[in-house]
Each structure stands twice: as structure tokens, then as C-alpha cells.
A and B are shown apart, each in its own frame.
Chain A
Amino acid sequence: EAQVTQNPRYLITVTGKKLTVTCSQNMNHEYMSWYRQDPGLGLRQIYYSMNVEVTDKGDVPEGYKVSRKEKRNFPLILESPSPNQTSLYFCATNRGGSYNEQFFGPGTRLTVL
């Protein structure tokens, strides 16, 4: 079954404690991205990756890092989380090129105290 998985699904943490949210896809898609969703602000892209070892900033990259060492995985790293990073995070993939139907992961709800 084609799917995008994220872990953890829920996380409560404290300011400054490094964390990683994993994203994995089994569709062999080249393009992966991370979004955060906040009330009144919609979905905003954090980072995206067009292929292995190719990543670039989206609209709101500050405070986040990513890596793409393998095609299937695209972890999101918060080196020093702050309360303003409390949000709902989605990983998404698509085949790239002109195929832009995004397949979304189930979401990770992060709370930073």
C-alpha cells in the first residue's frame, strides 16, 4: 500500500531540547516536502527536496533543518525548539516534475512548552 508515514504522531517537549520528526515514503517519489499548519495561516512550506542530497528552503525555514540521504526518508530536525514552533506538521511527497498531486503523511502535532 502506497503511504507516507510520520513519527511521532504527537509530541510534547520543552524549549531547547533537540528533536527529529521522521518521514518515510514507499512510492519512490523524488519530491518530498515539509509543511506546518497553523490556524488562520494555512499550510506553509518549511523545506523541500527534489531528490537525494538536494534540499531547499520553503517559505518558513527558520529554526528547522532537513536532510535527504536516502530517497525514501526526509527527516525534519528542530535543533532548539521554541514555543512558536508549536504546530501541526505534515510531510508530503509527489513524483516531481509536473505531477503535483501531493500525498500527505498523517501529521505530527508538536507542542513546545
Chain B
Amino acid sequence: EDKVVQSPLSLVVHEGDTVTLNCSYEVTNFRSLLWYKQEKKAPTFLFMLTSSGIEKKSGRLSSILDKKELSSILNITATQTGDSAIYLCAVSYIYSGAGSYQLTFGKGTKLSVIP
């Protein structure tokens, strides 16, 4: 079953709206949760979260991790058309079989911001 679940799968908003994207996970030996933005090319890194309750912020984007609830949210305030993209959540965990850090992605949330 899916280890990382994102919701909603797609979202259409108007410019200026605030959006909240959700990511929940179910892994053992959790290490970190990462958010990426993907436009019509490779994903680009946004945030890495390792500690509960500490907000990471970059301009109009912010994210927070809740390790008790096994989830994270990504907030975008005052959305612009340039925010239109797929937002990917990924969870890093120690894969006991190989003793290595593994990274599993959710299916992504497609955000469309219309003027």
C-alpha cells in the first residue's frame, strides 16, 4: 500500500487565494519529510522537515511537520499563476533491508492557479 498519501490530488484556485496541501505517511524509522515543486521539468526542492512543530518558511510558502499525526502541510498564501505546478511530498526513512536511507514519493497534488 502507499506509504505517502497526498491530498487533494488536484486543486484549482484563483489568484490571491491561500491553499493548504496535505501529506500523510506511514513508515517505520522515519528520518525526514521533503516537499518539491514540479513544473514542466524536474522537481525542485522546497523544504526538508525533520522536527515536529517547527515551521519552515520561504516567501509565501511555509510547511510544518506533525510527527504525532504522521503528517505535514504545505501552505501557499496569496497564490500567483506561477505557483501552478505539481507539489510532491516525499518521506525519507531507513530501509532495514539494506540499512540505507530510502525516499518514497506521494503521487503529488496538482495545483492550478487561475487569474
Which A residues fall within an 8 A CB radius of B? 31, 33, 35, 40-45, 48, 50, 56, 59, 90, 96-98, 100-107
Contacts and interface: CB of A to CB of B under 8 A. Distances in A.
Main secondary structure of the interface of B (DSSP, over half): strand
Interface of B: 31-32, 34, 36, 41-45, 48, 88, 90, 92, 98, 100-108
Contact of B42 (A50, A96, A106): A106
Contact of B48 (A40, A50, A100, A107): A100
B100 A106 contact: no
Main secondary structure of the interface of A (DSSP, over half): strand
Contacts of B90: 43, 102
B103 A102 contact: yes
A40 B107 contact: yes
Contacts of B44: 104
B101 A96 contact: yes
A108 B92 CA distance: 24
Contacts of B43: 43, 90, 102, 104
Nearest to B48: A101
A59 B97 CA distance: 13
Given A90-B42, A102-B45, A43 B31 contact: no
Contacts of B88: 42-43
B101 A98 contact: yes
